[in-house]
A = this chain, B = another copy of it.
Amino acid sequence: MKYETICLNEERNVTLTSFILPVGGEFRNIPARPAILILPGGGYGMCSEREAEPVAMSYLAAGYDAFILRYSVREHRKWPNPLDDYEQAMSYIREHAKKWHILPDKIAVIGFSAGGHLAAAAATMAKNRPNAAVLGYAVVTEDVIGCNDTAPDTVGEVDLQTPPCFLFHARCDGTVPVENSLRFMTALAQKGITFESHIYGFGPHGFSKGDSSLEVPRKDLCSRIPNWVADSIGFLKDVFGDFGPDGLDEPRCSHFINGNFEPMLSGECTLIKLSAIPEAAQAIRGVVSKAMTFDGSKATLEGMVSQFPHMMFCDICGFSLASAEEKQAALDTLAQIPNPDYEG
């Protein structure tokens, strides 16, 4: 392992600690590794050690390289200092990706509490976006003002470049209300972005990994809480791909949940979207009207849209009696139609 701490900004006491695992040799199927950048919490008044190295160890144990950014806090917390620190760190990592055998497009960020705010800002506002974000009991709304009155609400910043996110939170968190995670999820849902979330029945703020070595002070903790660690690793494997015989496997999960957010239409677009675009509606009407229905009645585009508005056209194709040629013709037509709502 290569382990070192470099100073990114002496005046603001910003440091980047790296834990870089070996590749090749006995790890011959791993020419390069995915990585995670850790942003500890601490109310922009400190960077908690409880959310730094212990978190790194869990991702290292799963074969990920890890970095800890100790960003600008206290008198240096004024926005955009912390986000600038992040940008500098992520640029530094990506610049050294080849040298350190890191996959530059498989770098996640994880943040806790105020560090979760910074992670959310990185995911929504940064120039150097991470490729996935893990947000732990993160203060992502204007609630952040309580600890840093210059820091922005990030919910409104969620855009199509926001990467897949994994969120976790205890329901009765009295420091950062669970509404923070709920509102962020709602924004992600509106943009069609993949996410996973686990809101646990009870537990305090700031439980870190929920492990016996980290619960200080000890509070009653819902037994599911420690699961987020393995679950977040599973999520990263789904969106980055798992270690395979020859580098990472194909991801099992895409950036967007369907095709509604891409530049051109496709079979992954939903019925309600396609039916609202006359040219697309015409292209798919025949195939949809040959769909097998539950009760054997005749399907219509309008009927299917009203029953299954969010179903993708390709799923309808799966139970339509239309010919393969007819389906392919519909798909070919869609592929020629620009997405009128595309925000890119």
Q: How far is the CA of A25 from the CA of B49 in the complex (A)?
A: 9
Contacts of A217 in B (CB 8 A): 245
Q: A324 an interface residue at 8 Å Cβ cutoff? A: no
Q: Is the CB of A195 within 8 A of B171?
A: yes
Q: Which residues of B contact A194 (CB under 8 A)?
A: 171-172, 201-202
Q: Of A6-14, A87-95, A121-129, A219-227, which stretch is located at the interface?
A: A219-227
Asked if B186 and A243 sit within 8 Å, CB to CB, the answer is: no
Q: Are A258 and B26 in contact (CB under 8 A)?
A: no
> Is A216 in contact with B28, judged by CB distance below 8 angstroms?
yes
Complex contact B201–A199 (CB within 8 A):
no
Q: A179-B189, A201-B253 are in contact. Are A60 and B63 (CB under 8 A)?
A: no
Closest Cβ of chain B to A32, distance in Å, is: 12
Q: CB within 8 A of A172: which of B22, B54, B60, B257?
A: B257
Count of identical protomers in the assembly? 4
Question: Is the pair A212, B243 in contact by a Cβ cutoff of 8 Å?
Answer: yes
Q: A61-B54, A63-B213, A243-B212 are in contact. Are A307 and B147 (CB under 8 A)?
A: yes
Inter-chain contacts of A309 with B (CB < 8 A): 146
The interface bits of chain A over 193-206 (1 if a CB of B lies within 8 angstroms of the residue's CB, else 0) are 01111111110000
**Smallest CB gap from A48: residue in B:** B26
A16, chain B: closest CB distance, angstroms: 15
- Give the CA-CA distance A79 to B35 in the complex, in Å: 42
14 A-B pairs with CB atoms under 8 Å apart are A30-B213, A60-B61, A61-B209, A171-B196, A174-B258, A174-B308, A182-B189, A196-B222, A197-B199, A201-B235, A202-B253, A212-B243, A223-B238, A224-B235
Query: Interface on A for B, CB 8 Å cutoff?
Result: 1, 3, 21-22, 25-30, 43, 45, 48-50, 53-54, 57-58, 60-63, 74, 145-147, 164, 166, 171-175, 177-179, 182, 185-186, 189, 194-202, 209, 211-214, 216-218, 220, 222-224, 227, 231, 234-235, 237-239, 242-245, 252-253, 257-258, 270, 294-295, 306-312, 315
In the complex, besides A30-B213, A218-B245, 8 extra interface pairs with C-beta distance below 8 angstroms are A26-B50, A54-B63, A57-B57, A174-B310, A179-B189, A182-B189, A220-B252, A227-B227
